[in-house]
Structure 1
């Protein structure tokens, strides 16, 4: 029985030209696309990567899996144009309503800081998320904010024992566990896809990423003994059944299922 809803989440972002100008990383007279390109080129020359600072990102998509006693659902909040504040608020509204177990891969290092900054910019409210014991005493001992608490479980951070040098890519771990891994694109292609009007493709990519994260969370629960081998197998069956239903509606789930190899049998004691 699922006592606490489980929300696995992942976000996709694009550079925010206004933030780049405010940070002095782009010339004020440039249009948005040119400002981003200038900042990316400077960043690439300086660091070897064109990925721009977290505080200069804006949220385009937030994808979630939602697992409770009724089953498994997948949903995305998407900025279709000028709706970023609403998208961020909708995500935190889920936390406000359900007080779920949050699960991410590098959510503490990227996704949540981005959501914090953009929530601040847009005047988003999220009192339950930010509660560290001031309103609910229980939150003092297990809240969403403290790194070593588990109400938000950053799987990458935990599996690396909080050592950045031990961090591993989600895509590689997913494939090693027999899951499909990344499909469609990767984060470096999101901005160009957005410029080409392919927001729906970005949403599909984000959804498959968050499904990989949920499956890795299930494997982690098996490893730590929270799921028995039979319970794990049942959960995998539920995921496959859920995706089979969705595959009738959207092609990316058909592709995902086709790429899903047979899972290695769990090691039994």
Structure 2
């Protein structure tokens, strides 16, 4: 089976699944706001301080991607703004079925992919090529998406820290450190509030800038590995700049403007 090779950088944004959590913890008599506060308190007791919900109770509200395919690169969010969680996840795994993808993420092994696993099961979805381990295609036995040390999924945070949690760095800091824009518009802690305020477009725009930062770090990583030589690296940078400039989307143009300003400061 021939599938065209491509690279897909991905990132998800989530909100607490209050409806499911209320049922699991017997809080159905409470309002969503009351339940959220109670669930946060329960989680802090469980963890010793963190109110970060368990992975299966993160409802996905956005999946943004950068796709490098053939002679093109593009960034967008899967599905329409009002797309259901099920549709977004289905589109993500369908892309893996369609293309021979190298997946790239920042902290995807610890968060994004486990959340996608649990939520895909909730919606009774299938993802055969993602879960292929060599039973049907032998080449996947030695390079698949599941094995931590294989390269079909490259978790940049994981691999750059040599799988040491104490050496791991936040995406925003790493992007800024390398001269890229970093986070624009909001951060992950503000997503739930933005969702409650109906600001889905802002969430999608924020997520898209995150995958752009991740793509730029990936290109620098490929340069480090020798998979890209300096002229090829510069060609990739130019290709992305052209895409951003021609997009006419304010958040992408802002990303490009901040990036170019930082390049000027670096060269001064």
Give TM-score scaled by structure 1 length.
0.91
Displacement over 6 Å in runs of 4+: none
Partner of 1:28: 28
In structure 2, C-alpha distance between the alignment counterparts of 1:197 and 1:43, rounded to whole Å: 26
The residue that corresponds to 2:257 in the other structure is 258
1:36-67 per-residue CA deviation (whole Å, 9 max, x = no partner) reads 23212443465333321111101100000000
Asked whether the 8 Å contact 2:79–2:91 carries over to 1, the reply is no
Residue aligning to 1:74: 75
State the shift of 1:74 in Å: 1.1
Q: Is the 8 A contact 1:78 1:203 kept in 2?
A: no
The within-5 A match list for 1:121-132 is 121-132=122-133
1:148 correspondence with 2:140 = no
1:101/1:174 CA distance change after superposition, 3 Å = same
Deviates more, 1:93-102 or 1:73-82: 73-82
Alignment of 1:46-57 (within 5 A): 47-57=48-58
Alpha-carbon distance, 1:79 to partner: 7.1
- Name the count of aligned residue pairs: 260
* Contact preservation (8 Å) 2:194, 2:200: yes
CA distance in structure 2 between the partners assigned to 1:219 and 1:75 by the alignment: 21
TM-score using structure 2 length: 0.92
Asked if the contact 1:43/1:52 (under 8 Å) is kept, the reply is yes
Give the aligned partner of residue 120 of structure 2: 119
Q: Give me the whole-angstrom Cα distance separating, in 1, the residues matched to 2:150 and 2:196.
A: 39
Query: Does 1:202 find its partner at 2:203?
Result: yes
1:221-265 deviation digits (Å, cap 9, x = unpaired): 01111111111111111111111111x2x2111221121111868
Unaligned runs of 5+ in 2: none
Alignment match, 1:240? 241
Q: Unpaired segments of 5 or more residues in structure 1?
A: none
- Map residues 144-183 of structure 1 onto 2, 5 A cutoff: 144-183=145-184
